Structure 1
Amino acid sequence: MSLPCPTHVLIIGYVWPEPRSSAAGGHMMQIIESFLQEGWHITFSSPAGIGEHKADLAALGIAEVNIELNNSSFDAFISDLAPDIVLFDRFMMEEQFGWRVEKHCPNALRVLETSDLQSLRDARHLQLKAHLKDHPEQDDFSRLFAPSPVQTFEHMADADLAQREIAAIYRSDLNLMISEYEIDLLIEQFHVPAALLHWCPLMVDKVPTEFVPFEQRQHFLSIGNFRHAPNWDAVLWMKTQVWPLIRQELPDAQLHIYGAYTPPKATALHNPKQGFHVLNWAEDALAVMSSARICLAPLRFGAGIKGKIADAMLCGTPNVTTPVGAEGMHGDMPWAGAIEQSASAIAAAAVELYQNPQAWQNAQQNGQALLQARYLQSDHGPALVQRINACRAGLEQHRRNNFTGAMLRHHQHKSTQYMSQWIEAKNSARPLTS
């Protein structure tokens, strides 16, 4: 009796994963680990260039394949590979390659790793810009941080980005959602069927029980990829408003800011006399987080859940953030630090936690409890695999139940297919240059 063939997964990456540069890269590696634990074979492909902090996929036994946009060479590649599951890393990859996957591997389960709702992040960015234009001197962002779900929908619904992203979600068989807030938004406001969504947050292997103690820690820390617009905005807010208020109370305090791909505009903010240190990429983010006393994450816009805050909890480092930073991360459980809505309140909370060992210890314990209750890979990895297997087992009926998705695939994929073929034909017709 022959053994069944192992499940083969093709991942089409928007970028090659960099788990030490971004939460998205870390989440992708957590998903990959969940698949490897099942003995599944994985091929990772991407049209992107190789980043300097790329994960060593080959060391995990994962095949790596470079693919091209708008090129029919992908058709032969996926036909030969014949994967059982295709995972699109962000909706742009589903737009580009979804019709090719459906044409050549119609029975493959199509899974979309959303990472976060980019259209939500974009809408919030536009709202912040409008707020700063209309109220340049106002420090209280409470109205910006607390719109109703209906108001959020109204800010998103007319945008081209939202229509593209929600269409990709409908076209996919299963969508991995990192934030419960975004699941609720999609179901209640965009009327996406719950059967298409699966909660898959950031994951941790285990919750530490011992940390560097309060007395042996010093300084404030902020960390995040500078290519991510919410992180850059947070750095600017800290530089101009938050950090000066902290220094008024703690004249010797230092803020260490780490981030991958640090641009010149960020290094220009480096000012040791102000205690404001821009220190580029951290070789070991958990090590620097573990030595800091407070993590600052004053995010004024964004989406998804925040890797830097999960790392802070993992290191026993209390954090001070905004409602956007804490969104989707703690449910009804106490926060691992403080959630504030103005520069003055963020500064006051940061100073209090920095100086109060008991409040600091309580915040650390809240972080441990959150990780244990909501983020264990031993819970979410098997749940993800189980959901995927259930979708595969009833795929025909699952797709029949998603008529809107079938309709969007019929129309959108045809237009995308013709555009892609036109681009390929145009590129192949270019004259050679000497």
Structure 2
Amino acid sequence: MLQLIALFLKQQFKVTFASASQKSENAADLKALGIDEVSIALNASSFDVFVQYLKPTIVVFDRFMTEEQFGWRVTESCPKAIRILDTEDLHFLRKVRHQQLKKGTKFTNEVLLNSKDAKREIAAILRCDLSLIISTYEMDLLKTVFKIDENILYYLPFLFHKIDQNHIKKWKPFKDRNHFVFIGNFFHKPNVDAVITLKKEVWSTIRKMLPKAELHIYGAYLNQQIQQLENKKEGFMIKGFAENSQEVIEKAKVVLAPLRFGAGIKGKLSEAMICGTPSVTTVIGAEGMHKNIPWNGFITNDFEEFSRKAVQLYQDEKYWKNAQKNGVEIINKIYDKEKLSPLFIDRLEEIQGNLEAHRTQNFLGNLLQLQTLQATKYMSKWIEAKNKL
């Protein structure tokens, strides 16, 4: 979201950030960027007044739940505004994978197609003029399994500056790096599961081969379940919130991310590449992130192999440096901000100049805008009326 905001600001857009959530102490300082921050209420017609006064030309919904709540209001109050859904990742994909993992049953496309969460999120995608899809895997899933028209989808991964030689020269060399690291906020269930997996399946094997190595676990919203895993004698260190995530990753020798479920592309792994730190992860961890370019480390779902490859990266400088080079290639070829940004702006301008025709072609989206199918709208109105009693 911050990358999108920066992109809009570069285009001289006036940006207003409206949120129904309470602002946390770790929130980004948007006012310093010249952005108006507005508090909005759920299930309240006060939003209608706000958005009618604002008269936006583009509205970006942060995830499908926001579109469910406010999308119909934007449609009624600002019918000419382009409605964009920033999926972040496909939430139904992550949720279904988690459910199947807990059940011990196989993940299939049929399970996805029967998911109520999938139906909600797909409906939000269909209602919007454009949905931003962060992963090549998810882009393919939407087109092939859910038969979504590519005309309302747009592949937009993270936007990074290229890694040049000056950047590389600033990285700590192999000999000056120590320990393994995992980083990720613990509101996010895949991160909680990954740390438990590190404790139960991975770390004891690594520690036997590297008795002086340590694993440092960083992340916001630390809970008791994670805190109780700390064992300083075994080098399993719970560090908590990191003021500067890149500083933490740059000091480490290897990033470990045994993700057993999830979706989208993983910030911890792209950040590892930016910091020149190789990583070991799972198939889901690397999913949709590197196309045909070799990974900056190793990918496996076998945790014995995961542990051995982590140790090899930790000990073998040649292997480590080669993995680091792969990370540079992935960032420079797939996430190039200077290449991706103007293409996205061009797509927005194309839709803006042809909005009526664009919407006419989206028949299923038009169908979902019919009043008889707008359950979320009337539920919101009912809640608002009830709250006034």
Residues 353-406 of structure 1, C-alpha deviation per residue, up to 9 Å, x if partnerless? 100000000000000011110112112222221111111111101000000000
CA distance in 2, matches of 1:55, 1:411: 38
**Unmatched 5+ stretches in structure 2:** none
Equivalent positions of 1:30-429 (< 5 A) are 30-131=3-104, 151=108, 153-207=109-163, 208-210=167-169, 211-411=171-371, 414-429=374-389
Asked if the contact 2:368–2:374 (Cα under 8 Å) also holds between the matched residues in 1, the reply is no
Contact 2:256/2:281 (8 A) holds in 1: yes
> Could you say what the CA RMSD is over the residues aligned between the two structures, in angstroms?
1.1
SS at match of 1:279: strand
Q: What TM-score do the two structures reach when normalised by structure 1?
A: 0.87
2: CA distance, partners of 1:339 / 1:377:
26
Q: TM-score w.r.t. structure 2 length?
A: 0.97
Output the amino acid matched with 1:381: S
* Rounded Cα–Cα distance in structure 2 between residues aligned with 1:62 and 1:91: 23
Amino acid of the structure 1 residue aligned with 2:284: V
Gapped runs of 5+ residues in structure 1?
1-27, 135-143, 430-434
Contact 1:99–1:413 (8 Å) recurs in 2: no
1:205: Cα distance to partner? 2.2
Q: CA deviation at 1:197?
A: 0.7
| Conserved? CA contact 1:99–1:417, under 8 Å | yes
1:11 — aligned with what? none
Identity of aligned residues (%): 48
Equivalent residue for 1:14? none
Alpha-carbon distance between aligned partners in 1 of 2:295 and 2:372, rounded to the nearest angstrom: 43
Residues 242-272 of structure 1: CA deviation (Å, up to 9, x unaligned): 1011011111110000001101211111111
Deviations 1:59-111 (A, max 9, x none): 11110000000000001000000000000000001000111000010000000
Aligned pair in 2 of structure 1 residues 363, 284: CA closer, same or farther (>3 Å)? Answer: same
Q: How many residues get paired?
A: 385
3-state SS of paired residue (2:15): strand
Is the 2:295–2:326 Cα contact (8 Å) retained in structure 1? Answer: yes
| Aligned counterparts of 1:110 and 1:154: Cα–Cα separation in 2 | 30
> Hey, what's the Cα distance between the residues in 2 that align with 1:412 and 1:371?
46
Runs of 4+ in 1 over 6 A off after TM superposition: none
Alignment check: 8 A CA contact 1:98 1:413 kept: no
Counterparts of 2:187 and 2:317, CA distance in 1:
35
Offset, 1:206? 3.0
Using the alignment, how far apart are the partners of 1:417 and 1:372 within structure 2? 43
Structure 2 residue identity aligned to 1:169 = I
